[in-house]
Every structure is written in C-alpha cells, then in structure tokens.
Amino acid sequence: MLEELANKAPPHPATFINLGTVYNQLKQYERAESWFLQAVNLKGGTPGREDHWNLGICKKNMGLYDEALPMLERALAEFQEHEPEHPVTIAKLHSTVGGCLHDMGRPADAIGQYQQAYDLYVATVGRGSPLFCSAAEGLAKSLKEERHFTEAFEALLDSFEVHARGDAVHPTPLFEALEMALRLQEQESSISLARMAETINAAVDNLDRRGMAEDGNAGLVMTRAGKVLLRAGGEGHRARAAELLHRGAGLVRQSHEAGEADLMHEIMEAEMLLESATQRPEQDRVAALPVANPSTATPASASI
C-alpha cells in the first residue's frame, strides 16, 4: 500500500524514510535499507545523522555489526554536537549503540551506553516510560553477561516494573524477566526475590483487567511467578505461589491439550512446585503434632 502511494506521489525523502521504517519493523531489512538509501540519494547522496541512524539499525538487524557500529556511533556524535537540546533522541541512540555492542559480544562496552540512556530517560521521560524500560532491560542483560549479578537484578527490577504495570503489558517480557531473575539468584544467593512480589501481583492484575490472563502464555507467567515466590521463601509468598501455580498450571495444561504447544515439561514442573508450595515446612508439621501426656505415653508414641 505504501509503495503504491510512493509510486503515485512525487519522490520525497520523508516518504522513502517512512517506507524504510515500516520494512524495518516488518523485519524485511534489505528492503528497508533500499528505501533508506533512496532517501539519501534524493537528498544529494550524502547521508546525514538521521540517515546514519536508520542505516545503522538496518545493518545491526542484519547482523552486520562491524558496519552498523560506526554508523550508529557517528549518528550519536552528530546528534550530541548539533542537537544537544534533544536528550531523548540522544538517549535512544545510546540505547541503540548499547544494543549493537551487546549483540556483537561486547557487553562491557554496552553497559556504559545503556547507563547513559538510563540516566537520560530518568531525567526526561521518567521511570514509567517504555523507553526507560528498554534501556533498563538492556543494562540488566549486559550486566548479567559481565557477572555483575546484583546490579543486573536492580536494573531488571526497573524494567519489570514497567512491563508489569504498563498499558502495553504482554506475557512474553514478563516471563523473560521472571526467568532472568531466577537465573540471577542462582548465581548470587543474596538477591532477594521477595522484592518482586508486589510487582508480580500488579502484573497478574494488569493481565486480568485487559482480558489477557486466560491462555497458556499467561499461565506460563503465573507458573514462573509462582516459582519465584516459592524460592523467595516465607509463608505469605508460599501461599501466593500456590495460588499462581494452581491457576497457571491449569492454563498451561489447557494450551497443551489443545495442541498449541508441547508444554508437558512445564506442566510437570508446575505440579511439582505446587506440591512443594502446599506442603507445610517440617518444623510447622512437627509443632502441629499432638503432644502425648507424659504419664500415659507408650514408648512408641513418645518416640514420634
């Protein structure tokens, strides 16, 4: 449709840039690059800072990181020099450069870029913005790769908060955040998974309000959330874990039985965790046993 309009209307760089952006979103990166290059040609053949950005993103998405990185770094430098009054744009570029560095196996260098994006977003759009969420998520992943597990968890909490409470709530990033939290805690036992409890409840409530909590994807979020809360410890978290595991396992089973995906391994794990969540801790079970009268207890009963 857009190409038909482009063919009918007089050639204009903005039209070609829009087409390139659409194809980028559709993951048709070669076509996106073609339209971005045509936009450059219409402007005289010399790419500007926005062109470097667009073309750099295409190269990054195609996995051509060695070509992408210089374009993105040049775009960032030129925006910093010529448009310092646009900190959100500069933050976006820091985040894009960070993503390129991370994807090309340089997480240590990516951390600095993500951190600058993070700080700029805090000062401008705030911590509830999806832009901030993206930077925090990238920062968490790069910190994890560099084995800074505690710092990674802090950044993960920031991104999870936005995913959980935002208008664009979706099961996939919620599941991925919960899974990452478990992996981080396995590496650093001092991490307190209990800090996720309130946000987990907010996420489930948000999915419920939007009619998104009745399929297998939501079920996977609930079972993984139950696993997080069970590992967090404490009777309150254990009880909530049992609720989520029970509800989530039912949804996952429905999806499995409908043939949507082979989820038997998830069902088995959820049921094992649910059994654990509903068992009382050993000390509570012992304390709850009836105490025999010392004067009448038999040797057998006294040894219980």
Per-residue pLDDT of the chain (304 residues; tens, 9 = 90+): 666 666 666 788 999 999 999 999 999 999 999 999 999 999 999 999 999 999 999 999 999 999 999 999 999 999 999 999 999 999 999 999 999 999 999 999 999 999 999 999 999 999 999 999 999 999 999 999 999 999 999 999 999 999 999 999 999 999 999 999 999 999 999 999 999 999 999 999 999 999 999 999 999 999 999 999 999 999 999 999 999 999 999 999 999 999 999 999 999 999 999 999 998 665 444 433 444 443 333 333 333 2
Angle, CA of 103, 48 and 24, to the nearest 5°: 45
pTM value? Answer: 0.87
User: How far is it, in rounded angstroms, from Cα 223 to Cα 273?
Assistant: 9
pLDDT score for 282: 55
Q: Which residues of 203-238 are buried (b: 16+ CB within 10 A; e: fewer)?
A: bbebbeeeeebebbbbbbbbbbbbbbbbbbeeeebb
Q: What is the pLDDT of residue 5?
A: 62
Interatomic CA distance for residues 176 and 113, integer angstroms: 22
Give the model's pLDDT for residue 287: 35
pLDDT of residue 116: 99
* Total count of residues recorded for the chain: 304
Tell me what pLDDT residue 35 has.
94
Instruction: Mark out the alpha helices in the chain (DSSP H runs).
Output: 2-8, 13-25, 29-42, 49-61, 65-82, 87-103, 107-123, 130-145, 149-165, 171-187, 197-209, 216-232, 235-257, 264-278, 282-288, 299-302
Q: What is the pLDDT of residue 2?
A: 61
Q: In the chain, what are the domain boundaries? A: 149-281
- Looking at residue 276, what is its pLDDT? 94
Find all residues with CB under 8 Å of 109, minimum gap 6, and list them.
Answer: 101
Angstrom distance (rounded) from CA 132 to CA 118: 6
Q: What is the reported pLDDT for 292? A: 41
